[in-house]
Structures are given as C-alpha cells and as structure tokens.
Amino acid sequence: MSHPLQVALPVAAQPAVRVRNFTRRFGQTTVLHDLDLDIGRGEFVALLGRSGSGKTTLLRTLAGLDPADGQAVTTPAAKAIVFQDPRLLPWKKVWRNVALGLSGPGVRDRAEAALGEVQLGHRLDAWPATLSGGEAQRVALARALVREPGLLLLDEPFAALDALTRIRMHGLVLALWRTHNPAVLLVTHDVDEAITLADRVLVLDEGRIAAEERIDLPRPRDPDAAFHAIRTRLLGHLGVEAPARRPAPTEGALVAFPSGEMVA
C-alpha cells in the first residue's frame, strides 16, 4: 500500500488551490484519503493515476461540481473546466456556446476575442455539427478561458483527438496558459503528455498523492534522456515497467525493417 506524500509549495508562494486532509467517501468506499494539495498561482500541474484512483473525484471537487462538505478546500472564485467531450450545445452557434452564461454588453465581442485566441475567429457563426473534433475542443477551451479563470481544470481534454491534433492542442494550451496565467490541473492517463505540459506531475494512488515529479526541462520538450528518465520513474510509480530504449544506429550500421530488409 502506498503512503501519503505531503505536496506543498515554498512558503513564499501563494497557492491558488489549497486542500488539507480532504476525504471523499461514496457509501462504504473511501475514494480520497486525507489528501493534501497545493497548486500555485500560474502553476501547471498534471495528475496521473490508474482508473479508480480518485483523479476525477478530486477534479470535480475543485471545480465545485461535488460539495466539499465543509472540509478545507480553497480554490479561486473564477474556475472553468474542459472535459474530454466538448459538450457544445448543438442548437447554439459557436460564439453563443463560448458566451454561454455570460451577460452584459460586449458579450459577442468577448466570445469573438476568445475564439480568435484559439484560431477559430472564422467559425464564429458556425454550428457545432460542422466542426471537426479538434475545432470543437478548441471552442470548449475558448469557452473556459473567456471567463478568465484563476483555476483551469482539464479532464483528459485531448484523449479523443488524433495524434497530430493532440500535438497542436498541446502547443495551443501552453500558449494560452502563458497569456492568461491561470493555475492549471490536467487529469490525464498519458505520461508523455503530462511531462510535455506540466511544471509538476503528481501520481494519485489509492486516493493519496503517492509521488511527485517536478519537471525542470525547458519548453518545448523533446523526448531526450532526461525526459525518458522522468517517464521511467513515473511509469514505475504507476506500476508499469518502461520499455527499454533502442539505441540510435551508428553510422554504417545495418538497420532491420519489419519486412526483413536490411539497410545500411
């Protein structure tokens, strides 16, 4: 059984999120056990864990979707969440989906500005059914950021996208994060994605934060030896043995292809 790990920022930092001794039970099942967590203002944190470890339960609590029952959970007043499913209303045009819940003068202008940031200004009056999967997710991201949240929660938002779209979305999210500077909590099953995006990666195991990796690699992050070492440690915390890296072929060496062909 894993042991709880106190995860805290330096005293000088002012956290956007502070959770102390948080426990969540559903009937006889305890999903989160005396959990402590700080996320700094403007910090990008990724949360890994096996299915059933409590990741989504924690995210829903921070989003205010599940009550904290008087426990010590502090979050910014302005929060936004992006799910794996974009959850766009098909009977509202794109800009109205972005502006959902907003009121006052200039709402359309605010929606248009947010869509411009995600490179969809030209789709302002489109219907959701005409969007690609990547476009729909960018609309969901614009809808979150138009509210200028102090905390942005991302619940596996790229899981349903193809590989190339995911890479583009990673770059877009990092650019938007630098511009708006919210605290970010990304829930993901993808270890490489966590290392690519986050300042810190946490591993949740049996309802406790069991491991932490601070990612000090410069961005953009290439899968070099340092990246691979972090990946190996995180996979180990998740109970997965990392596959051995294949050394790069030296000059003049023969390379075998699956067909059996040998090329020098």
Q: Which two tokens stand for residue 68?
A: 């904290």
Residues 6+ apart with CB under 8 A from 178: none
pLDDT tier at 12, thresholds 50, 70, 90? very low
Q: Which two tokens stand for residue 91?
A: 């009977």
8 assigned to some structural domain:
no
**What's the pLDDT tens digit per position in 195-220?**
999 999 999 998 899 999 999 999 99
DSSP assignment string, 159-197: TTS-HHHHHHHHHHHHHHHHHH--EEEEE-S-HHHHHHH
Residue labelled with tokens 């609590």 = 61
**What's the pLDDT tens digit per position in 239-259?**
887 665 655 555 554 544 444
Whole-number Å distance between alpha carbons of 130 and 199: 35
The total of structural domains in the chain comes to 1
Residue 4 has pLDDT above 90, yes or no: no
**CA count, 13 A, side-chain hemisphere, 191:** 23
Cβ count near 180 (within 10 Å)? 16
Give pLDDT, residue 105: 86
**Which three-class secondary structure state does DSSP give residue 114?**
helix
The domain that contains 138 carries what CATH number? 3.40.50.300
Which helix (H) or strand (E) segment holds residue 202: the answer is strand 200-205
Which residue range(s) make up the domain with 86? 15-263
Among the residue ranges 9-13, 43-47, 175-179, the one predicted with the least confidence is 9-13
64 assigned to some structural domain:
yes
Give pLDDT, residue 52: 82
Whole-number Å distance between alpha carbons of 187 and 50: 11
Region 73-101: mean pLDDT is 95
Give pLDDT, residue 28: 85
Bridge pairing between strands 255-256 and 262-263: antiparallel
73 assigned to some structural domain:
yes
**What's the pLDDT tens digit per position in 152-188?**
999 999 998 999 999 999 999 999 999 999 999 999 9
pTM over 0.95, yes/no: no
pLDDT tier at 109, thresholds 50, 70, 90? very high
9 assigned to some structural domain:
no
Q: Supply the mean pLDDT for the chain.
A: 88
Region 2-9: mean pLDDT is 44
147 assigned to some structural domain:
yes
Give pLDDT, residue 67: 85
1 assigned to some structural domain:
no
pLDDT tier at 13, thresholds 50, 70, 90? low
The sign one gets for the Cα dihedral 15, 13, 6, 200 is positive
CA distances from 223 to 163, 211, 227, 228 (A): 16, 21, 5, 6
Q: Which two tokens stand for residue 216?
A: 């000090």
pLDDT tier at 110, thresholds 50, 70, 90? very high
The residue with greater pLDDT, 70 or 199, is 199
249 assigned to some structural domain:
yes
4 assigned to some structural domain:
no
Residue 133 has pLDDT above 90, yes or no: yes
End-to-end CA distance of the chain: 50
